[in-house]
Copies of this chain bind each other. A is one copy, B any other.
Amino acid sequence: MLKPLYEKVDLPVASIRRYLEPGPIVLVSSTHGERRNVMTMGWHTVIEFSPSLIGCVISSNNHSFGMVRDSGECVINIPTSALAEEIVGIGKCSGAWIDKFETFKLTTEPAKLVKAPLIRECFANLECRLVDDSLVGKYSFFVFEVVKAHAATTPKYPETLHYMGDGTFMVSGKIIEQHPKFSAGILWRRILNALRPVQRA
C-alpha cells in the first residue's frame, strides 16, 4: 500500500494537545551519534500547554531508552491507521541491530531544532527536548518539552489508532466539534445532540 507523505505547516507548540490528548499510538524517533531509531509508544500524556510539556514511558528494555536519555531529544511522530503495519512491526523489533526506517520503508526528513528525524508518512511531528529526567530511573518516565511542531492541515482529523493492549486496537471514530462562539455552558447540549444518533445506532 502506498503511504501518503504529508505536507505540513508549523503549529504553535501550545496547540499540540489536540493531537496527543485523545490517546493515539505514536512513533518515537531518536538519533544518537551515528545511530537513528524509532519505536512505537502508547503511554504518553499532555502535562502542560505552555511550556508545551509531554510525559511518556520509554522502557529501559528498549534500545530507544539509552538513545533518548543520552541525546536528550526525540521526535514524537503521529501516524494514521494507514501505518498499522509499521506501528506493530516497529513495536516488535529492536533497533539495536537493524535500521527500522529502512526495514519499514519510512521517509525521514531533518528536524529543525533536534537531531532526531521527522517521519514524513506521519501527519504530525513534534520535536522534543528532555526537560526532566527525575522519574526516568524509577519509572522510565520522561518529561519532554515540544520545541517545534509540524502538522498536516488536511485531513483535519486523520484516522488514528489507539492501543488497548493484547493486540487490540481502537480506530478513532466520529468527531464532535464545538463552534468557538458557543459558550461553555451549552457545549454539553451540542455534544449530547451530536451523540444521540451514534448511541441509537
Complex CA–CA separation, A131 to B26 (angstroms): 27
Q: Are A22's CB and B21's CB within 8 A?
A: no
Binds B, one of A27-35, A38-46, A64-72, A146-154: A38-46
Q: What B residues does A55 contact at CB under 8 A?
A: 45, 55, 139, 141
Residue A48 CB within 8 A of the other chain: yes
Residue from A23, A55, A89, A182 with most neighbouring chain B CB atoms (10 Å): A23
How far is the CB of A92 from the nearest CB of chain B, in Å?
Answer: 5
CB-CB nearest in chain B for A143: B139
Q: Are A17's CB and B164's CB within 8 A?
A: yes
Q: What B residues does A98 contact at CB under 8 A?
A: none
Given contacts A17-B165, A184-B92, contact A171 B170 (CB under 8 A): no
Binds B, one of A5-13, A112-120, A122-130, A191-199: A191-199
Q: What B residues does A180 contact at CB under 8 A?
A: 166-167
* A48 touches which of B46, B139, B174 (Cβ 8 Å): B139
Q: Are B168's CB and A177's CB within 8 A?
A: yes
CB-CB nearest in chain B for A81: B195
Size of the A side of the interface (Cβ < 8 Å), in residues, is 65
Complex CA–CA separation, A143 to B139 (angstroms): 10
* A164 touches which of B21, B56, B141, B165 (Cβ 8 Å): B21
Q: Are B191's CB and A169's CB within 8 A?
A: yes
Instruction: Say what secondary structure dominates the interface of chain A.
Output: mixed
Complex CA–CA separation, A170 to B89 (angstroms): 26
Q: List 11 A-B contacts (CB under 8 A).
A: A18-B168, A21-B163, A43-B47, A46-B57, A48-B57, A85-B189, A135-B143, A159-B199, A162-B162, A171-B198, A173-B174
A positions within 8 Å CB-CB of B: 1, 15, 17-18, 21-24, 42-48, 53, 55-57, 81-82, 84-85, 87-89, 92, 132, 134-135, 138-139, 141, 143, 157, 159, 162-178, 180, 182, 184-185, 187-189, 191-192, 195, 198-199
